[in-house]
Chain A
Amino acid sequence: MFDTTNFQPLLARRYTLEVRQQMAWYWQALVIALALLVGMLISAAILVSAGVPAGELLNEFVILTLFDSQSLRAVLFQAAPLIMVGLAGCLAFRARFWNLGLEGQMIWGAIGATAISLFEIGPPSLRLPLMMVCAMACGLLWALAPVLLKLHLKVNEIISTLMLNYIAINFLLHLVYGSWKDPRDSFPYSPQYKVFERLPELFDGVSLAVVLALVVALFVLWFTGISRAGLYLRFVDSSPGVARAVGVPVKRVILGTVLLSGALAGLAGLMITAGQEGRLTHSFYAGYGFSGILIAFLARNQPIAATVVAVLVATLFVAGRSLQVFYQIPFSMVQLIQAILVICVASSEFFIRHRIRRIQGGQV
């Protein structure tokens, strides 16, 4: 006889969710890898429907960008500012401070660097270091108000940092359309930096920006992993209440970490103006703030992982540009793909934290 007691049609089956205590790291890695794969398949489908031949995708994204030495240099070059904003995101998020103002801090960093260049402050040999210091100071100052407001008046930093971006953006437009506009033509950008004001190529075409980004990554690794501040930061990250009770100077740790995050974002701004564009332009920052958050998120705030993810995002940027040239795909498609990848990885968190189990018999 056929036993029907244990058989149920698919829709009548019932499932229950259980919270998982822990999942081995290799299973977590597998879940995230699967999520990325799903994200890439969705992205590929969108690109194909937008007119990119399916057969060309692999060619554009992998072969032409990573196996061609000139493209590889372009990827690394592109990766430098992304590594910086990614690290800036990692630091702020570890202090439980949602710094959505990375773009504003980048803009001020770039404005600070450009001011040194425009007003010709310091001798040529010291000009570039001075620009770097000024960029970091300006980024830091732009992060100062939100962090003080949060610590002393509990003002939500998500809103304050985001709103300050608009002030920074409009001030940038005011400069490049106004007093800082290059007098030689009518485009909205500042006069070109001089040769000694630009990040030089060091060896084999690799820019100083790349080396600088790697040095900063090592610095962040030291800060979060080896110094006492790192221990404090781990306590603040895991539980501010416990941190306070066991004697971590919570406010000072948050203040210092967030200011460092702002300084790194400012330096990222300089990397674009002094490394790529050679001048202050009206939209050099576009997309970097979001990318920084995304990189920090995908890297789980780990500096080494952030460096790797930033290189991958840079690949996407470079490939996106060539798609723009050859297939007229708008550059916002790159942001769309980023967003899809983030949503997929964020959703995979659900499977890491929960277990789905079928209920026998369909009863609670």
Chain B
Amino acid sequence: MSNPNAIRLDSVSKSFDGFKALSEASFTARWGEVHALLGENGAGKSSLMNIAAGLYAPETGSLFIDDNPVHLKGPLDAAAQGIGMVHQHFKLVKPFTVAENILLGLRHLQAGTYRQRLAQTAEQITAMAASLGFSIEPHARVDQLSVAEQQRVEILKVLLAGARILILDEPTAVLTDAEAENLLTTVQNFAHQEGAAVILVTHKMNDVMRYADQVTVMRTGSTVASLKPQTVSVGELVKLTVGDAPTPPQIPSSRDAGEVRLAVRDLSSSGAAPALRGVNLELRAGEIYGIAGVGGNGQSELAGALMGLPEPVSGEMELVGEGDLNSLSAARRRELGIACIPADRYSSALAAPLSISDNFAMGDVHSGRYGPFWFLRRKRIEADTAAAVAEFDVQGVRSLQQKAALLSGGNAQKLVIAREFARTPQLVIVHSPSRGLDVRATLAVHERLRSARDAGSAVLLISEDLDEVMALADRIGVMSAGRIIGEFAQPADRQAIGQAMVNHV
């Protein structure tokens, strides 16, 4: 009764920079089905599919297509095998037309001049779009199309290049509900009527329950279950996704939470689809307030607003006793002991081409500790940097004049923390502090955050990793669709938090 296997990945492992993204993950999709790959952020869904699409080579494990072992040397090889992937971030040449973009992706060109080929491609686009049940203008420029239309171009591109196994990475993340429904119906028809295999990478329970014929659940780099969504409840799927392994108990603060340090009231961003829609929270001295949630629900925007990156916002971020955070200059923020540890180290914390000591000096240069405006006290900078590098265990420093870019992810993060914590911070804003770090570095980072809290800092931890929030936070707020929709005090129920995270998506 079940269809033959289309693609099978067997015990695949892959690590990045010491971090094990995939360990012994196995996955099988059959012809004629929509197969959902479900998991939290960082569970390894995208890594696994990038291996299937030939972008990454697995360290161990093997790949089978139609049950024949296949070795992919690159994306072109994968395309030749009929595998096509639509990435979360589209790979289209913006000023080109639809037909030009698609022609660019074709491997086997027909005879004829460029114009003839372009005309043929345009015909194929119209025909293929019609068979999928939508229409698209082949000569429209891609940058004048809506996001949903660009996604259709991506799909047409891989299908016209001959894909029979279609991988869609978080396809509905950028779409409105109606567009998402449309897209999922289209790909469902493609699988059911044309007999192709469609793999849907997602973390949305609803999409899985309504459109998938089969679902594989991933957790921390492994595939933990493969089942038919109709046979389980949403609750059971959530349980599989977030896991029910007992998390080590959170270590509570050694002192009681003090006065309110930061009050965020009704914080909203502007725009047609605002990422923040009225965030309210209070952060006290001597506590870690964790914000959990599925990625893309406004966490990055909240972090950006609090860290003073230019974001158009309304509402209040009151630093108690000092007024609104937005009104403080960078120098004043430093003086008041506000430490920021952003998620993307090299786009907002460290200047990669500059030396370690230059990067460290920025932390305290405004106060005049490193000399007056007309003179930098290099000796003192070097001495402070050397002391901080030793204290925060930054590894791989051959010289303080070495470029920061040469540090590994974990050590770059330690350097950021060393700089931000050089003076005891009053308020710490951290976003995904352990992203891309190995276990040892993660533990070290967590220890630093706990000791800052125990010294009386108010710590706001924004993380898409629920385990991290569970392990660190004294109170947990769940963020969904730009709001805090629930607060949990420790000891909190992991299942209840997981449920709250997905129910509102």
A residues with a Cβ closer than 8 A to B are: 226-231, 234-235, 238-239, 241-249, 364
CA distance A248 to B309 in the complex (A): 12
Q: List 17 A-B contacts (CB under 8 A).
A: A228-B372, A228-B373, A234-B351, A235-B354, A235-B358, A238-B351, A238-B352, A239-B352, A244-B310, A245-B308, A245-B340, A246-B349, A246-B363, A247-B331, A247-B334, A247-B362, A247-B366
Confirm or deny: B484 has a beta carbon within 8 angstroms of a beta carbon on chain A. no
Q: List residues of chain B with CB within 8 A of the CB of A228.
A: 365, 370-376
Report chain A residues within 8 Å CB of B330.
Answer: 246-249
Distance A231 CA – B365 CA, assembled complex (angstroms)? 9
| B307 close to chain A: CB less than 8 A | yes
User: Is B351's CB under 8 angstroms from A226's CB?
Assistant: no
Inter-chain contacts of A239 with B (CB < 8 A): 347, 351-353
Report the nearest B residue to A243, measured CB to CB.
Answer: B351
Q: Mark B329-343, 1 if CB is under 8 A from A, else 0.
A: 111011000001010
- Given A227-B376, A231-B361, A364-B76, are A245 and B371 neighbors across the interface (CB < 8 Å)? no
What is the size category of the interface that chain B forms with chain A?
A: 35 or more
| B352 close to A231 (CB less than 8 A) | no
- Return the contact of B347 from the options A231, A235, A241, A247 (Cβ within 8 A): A241
Q: Are A238 and B347 in contact (CB under 8 A)?
A: no
Report yes or no: A245 in contact with B342, Cβ–Cβ below 8 A: yes
B53 is an interface residue with CB less than 8 A from chain A: no
Q: Which of B309, B353, B365 contacts A245 (CB 8 A)?
A: B309
Inter-chain contacts of A245 with B (CB < 8 A): 307-309, 340, 342, 348-349
Residues of A within 8 A of B348 (CB): 241-242, 245
Chain B contacts of A231 at CB under 8 A?
Answer: 358, 361-362, 365, 376
B350 at the interface (CB under 8 A from A): yes
B323 interface residue per 8 A CB criterion: no
- What is the distance, in angstroms, from A93's C-beta to the closest C-beta of chain B? 15
Known: A239-B352, A243-B351, A246-B349. A234 touches B366 (CB 8 A): no
Question: B74 near A: Cβ within 8 Å?
Answer: yes
Query: DSSP class of A's interface residues: helix, strand, loop or mixed?
Result: helix
B contacts with A: majority SS: loop
B153 CB → nearest A CB, Å: 26
Point out the residues of chain A lying under 8 angstroms from B350, CB to CB. Answer: 242
* Residues in A neighbouring B362, C-beta threshold 8 A: 231, 235, 246-248
Q: Is A242's CB under 8 angstroms from B349's CB? A: yes
Q: Provide the bound-state CA to CA distance between A246 and B349, in Å.
A: 6
Could you tell me the distance between the alpha carbons of A300 and B330 in the complex, rounded to whole angstroms? 30
- A242 nearest CB across to chain B (Å): 5
User: Which residues from chain B contact A234 at a C-beta distance below 8 Å?
Assistant: 351, 354, 358
Within 8 Å CB of B307, what residues of A?
245
User: Shortest Cβ distance from B409 into chain A, in angstroms?
Assistant: 16
- Give Cα A98–Cα B227 distance, bound, in whole angstroms: 60
Residues of A within 8 A of B333 (CB): 247
Nearest A residue to B76 via CB reads A364
The answer to whether A227 and B365 have CB atoms under 8 Å apart is no
Q: Are B371 and A242 in contact (CB under 8 A)?
A: no
**14 other A-B residue contacts (CB within 8 Å) besides A228-B365, A231-B362, A235-B354:** A228-B373, A228-B374, A231-B361, A231-B376, A234-B351, A235-B351, A238-B351, A238-B352, A239-B347, A239-B353, A242-B346, A242-B348, A242-B351, A246-B351
Cβ-defined partner of A227 (8 Å) among B346, B352, B353, B375: B375
In angstroms, how far is the closest chain A Cβ from the Cβ of B405?
A: 9
- 10 shortest A-B CB distances, which residue pairs? A247-B330, A245-B348, A238-B351, A238-B353, A246-B362, A242-B351, A228-B373, A239-B351, A227-B374, A235-B351
Structural contact, B376 and A226, CB atoms closer than 8 A: yes
Per-position 1/0 for B424-435, Cβ under 8 A of A: 000000000000
**A190–B329 alpha-carbon span in the complex (Å):** 50
Give A231 to B350 CA distance when docked, in angstroms.
13
Find the residue from A235, A241, A245, A249 having the highest chain B CB count within 10 A. Answer: A245
Q: In the assembled complex, which residues on chain B have CB atoms less than 8 Å from the CB atom of A241?
A: 347-348
Give Cα distance in the complex from A247 to B332, angstroms: 9
* Contact status A242-B347, CB under 8 Å: yes
Are B375 and A226 within 8 A (Cβ)? yes
Q: Using Cβ atoms and an 8 Å threshold, which residues of chain B touch A364?
A: 73-74, 76
Within 8 A of A (CB), among B432-477: none
**Residues in A neighbouring B334, C-beta threshold 8 A:** 247
| B74 closest partner in A (C-beta) | A364
Instruction: Enumerate chain B residues within 8 angstroms of A238, measured Cβ to Cβ.
Output: 351-354
Q: How far is the CA of A229 from the CA of B366 in the complex (A)?
A: 11
**A305–B279 CA distance with the chains assembled, in angstroms:** 53
Q: Please pick, from A230, A235, A244, A249, the residue contacting B309 in the complex, using a CB distance under 8 A.
A: A244
Q: Give, as a whole number of angstroms, the nearest-CB distance from A256 to chain B.
A: 11
List residues of chain B with CB within 8 A of the CB of A226: 374-376
In the complex, how many angstroms separate the beta carbon of B320 from the nearest chain A beta carbon? 22
Q: How far is the CB of A336 from chain B (nearest CB, A)?
A: 34
B436 to chain A, nearest CB (A): 18
Q: How far is the CA of A231 from the CA of B363 in the complex (A)?
A: 12
**Smallest CB-CB separation from B370: which chain A residue?**
A228
CA distance A234 to B361 in the complex (A): 12
Contact B74 A227 (CB under 8 A): no
Residues of B within 8 A of A242 (CB): 346-351
B346 / chain A contacts, CB cutoff of 8 Å: 242
Residue of A nearest to B342 (CB): A245
Q: Which residue of B lies closest to A235 (CB)?
A: B351
Bound Cα distance A295, B358 (Å): 27
Q: State A249–B350 Cα separation when bound (angstroms).
A: 16
Alpha-carbon distance between A247 and B334 when the two chains are bound, in angstroms: 8
CA distance A226 to B375 in the complex (A): 6
In the complex, chain B residues 367-407 whose Cβ is within 8 Å of any chain A Cβ = 370-376
Q: Contact: A229 with B373, CB < 8 Å?
A: yes
Bound together, the chains give a CA A241 to CA B371 distance in angstroms of 25
Q: In the complex, how many angstroms separate the beta carbon of A65 from the nearest chain B beta carbon?
A: 38
